[in-house]
């Protein structure tokens, strides 16, 4: 059993999400940084999409009531077991009575904790991913709180050492490669340039649903009342106040603001590491490059983790 002593800024149970239900208003959700989530699972011998605990910004403490193996990946949170440093992007054994603590992260936003066999949660539409706005999945559809505990599988496994190159790297300046969104051409000429020049800053309104950005004013040529239409995660939308909003994994399935950029699929995991205060820059990417990058990166990660997808 593992017990939550402190839930920190926020912690939720996540897997690879429930895809295929956007037409009914259900976003896919799932680990916001799929890459770190997947390798955290690999290091403890799990299939890449096994349920894990997603820890936001740090402050989480856990006590183990049995011996087990822990995988840790994602934002550097200066983790310690009983006050002794443990290394991020490794798996390590813990013993009954041990306490794992995560300190405040200084780079990135989310870290993932895995155990052999994963964590149990409530399954909705084939996924245990927590979606807070509708109270779906996870533990009673909510974030972890002090006193929660998870039964864990008494599986004996050895830690796996992550081969070089598989560790995700990011800083507090997140650079996202993008394709034009459906309404990109409706931006003013000036805004079409401004999107790619200065970085934006993620404001405190940054969570799993989206990041409200601050920076150059981004304006549409005309601001007509758009009919609401389908919206994808990774879309940069421009509301009437000219401060763009970046849709994340829990974003609404439909929106009524112009969709001006779309983050390429291979960079989608980086959205999970955007935190309040992060710089966010956008780059253009050619259509064929977006696909080539996706093919190469997917093949690279699949050589380690069967069936991995971004």
Partner 1 sequence: MVRPPQIIPYGDSALLMQFMSDGYSRDVIRTVQAMSSELRADPDWIEVVSGYDSLLLEFDPLKLDPVAAEGKLINLVNGFKPGQVPTGRLVEIPVYYGGKDGPDMQLIMDAAGLGESEVISLHSAREYLVCMMGFIPGFAFLSAAHDRLYHPRHETPRGRVPAGSVGIGGWQTGIYGLESPGGWQIIGRTDITIFDATRDEPFYLSAGDRVKFVPATRGSAKG
Residue 167 DSSP one-character state: S
Nearer to partner 1, 82 or 303 (CB): 303
Q: Which of 88, 206, 216, 262 binds partner 1 (CB under 8 A)?
A: 262
Nearer to partner 1, 154 or 229 (CB): 229
Tokens 């910004």 appear where? 57
Show the site string, 110-139: x = touches partner 1 by CB under 8 A, - = not: --------------xx-------xxxx---
Q: Are 251 and 281 in contact (CB under 8 A)?
A: no
CA distance 214 to 201: 5
Q: Is 227 among the residues that bind partner 1 (CB under 8 A)?
A: yes
Provide, rounded to whole angstroms, the least separation between the CB of residue 302 and partner 1. 10
Which ranges constitute the DSSP H helices of 142-286?
189-197
Strand stretches in 103-209, DSSP E: 107-114, 149-150, 173-180, 200-206
Q: Is 77 among the residues that bind partner 1 (CB under 8 A)?
A: no
Q: Is 222 among the residues that bind partner 1 (CB under 8 A)?
A: no
Q: Is 14 among the residues that bind partner 1 (CB under 8 A)?
A: no
Q: Which of 3, 22, 194, 219 binds partner 1 (CB under 8 A)?
A: 22
Nearer to partner 1, 55 or 260 (CB): 260
Nearer to partner 1, 168 or 247 (CB): 247
Which ranges constitute the DSSP H helices of the chain?
34-43, 189-197, 287-302
CA distance 104 to 95: 24
CA distance 150 to 122: 12
Nearer to partner 1, 96 or 296 (CB): 296
Tokens 């989608």 appear where? 268
What is the chain's alpha carbon radius of gyration, rounded to the nearest angstrom? 19
Binding site for partner 1 (CB under 8 A): 19-20, 22-26, 124-125, 133-136, 141, 179-182, 225, 227-230, 232, 234-235, 252-255, 259, 262-265, 287, 290-291, 294-295, 298, 309
């Amino acid at each position: 059993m593992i017990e939550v002593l402190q839930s920190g800024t926020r912690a939720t149970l996540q897997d690879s999400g429930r895809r295929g239900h956007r037409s009914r208003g259900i976003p896919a959700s799932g680990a916001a940084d799929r890459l770190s989530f997947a390798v955290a699972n690999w290091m403890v011998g799990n299939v890449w999409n096994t349920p894990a605990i997603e820890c936001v910004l740090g402050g989480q403490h856990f006590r183990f009531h049995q011996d087990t193996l822990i995988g840790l990946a994602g934002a550097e949170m200066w983790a310690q077991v009983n006050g002794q440093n443990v290394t991020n992007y490794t798996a390590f054994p813990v013993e009954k009575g041990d306490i794992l603590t995560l300190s405040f992260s200084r780079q990135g936003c989310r870290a993932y904790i895995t155990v052999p066999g994963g964590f149990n949660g409530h399954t909705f539409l084939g996924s245990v991913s927590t979606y807070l706005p509708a109270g779906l999945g996870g533990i009673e559809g909510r974030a972890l709180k002090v006193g929660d505990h998870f039964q864990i599988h008494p599986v004996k496994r050895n830690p796996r050492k992550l081969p070089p190159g598989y560790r995700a790297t990011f800083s507090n300046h997140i650079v996202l490669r993008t394709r034009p969104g459906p309404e990109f051409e409706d931006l003013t000429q000036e805004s079409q340039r401004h999107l790619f020049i200065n970085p934006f800053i993620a404001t405190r309104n940054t969570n799993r649903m989206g990041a409200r950005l601050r920076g150059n004013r981004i304006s549409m040529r005309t601001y007509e009342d758009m009919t609401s239409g389908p919206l994808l995660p990774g879309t940069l939308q421009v509301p009437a106040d000219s401060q763009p909003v970046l849709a994340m994994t829990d974003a609404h399935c439909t929106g009524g603001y112009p969709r001006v950029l779309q983050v390429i699929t291979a960079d989608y995991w980086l959205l999970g590491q955007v935190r309040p205060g992060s710089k966010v820059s956008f780059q253009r990417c050619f259509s064929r490059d977006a696909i080539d990058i996706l093919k190469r990166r997917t093949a690279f990660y699949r050589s380690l983790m069967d069936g991995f997808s971004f």
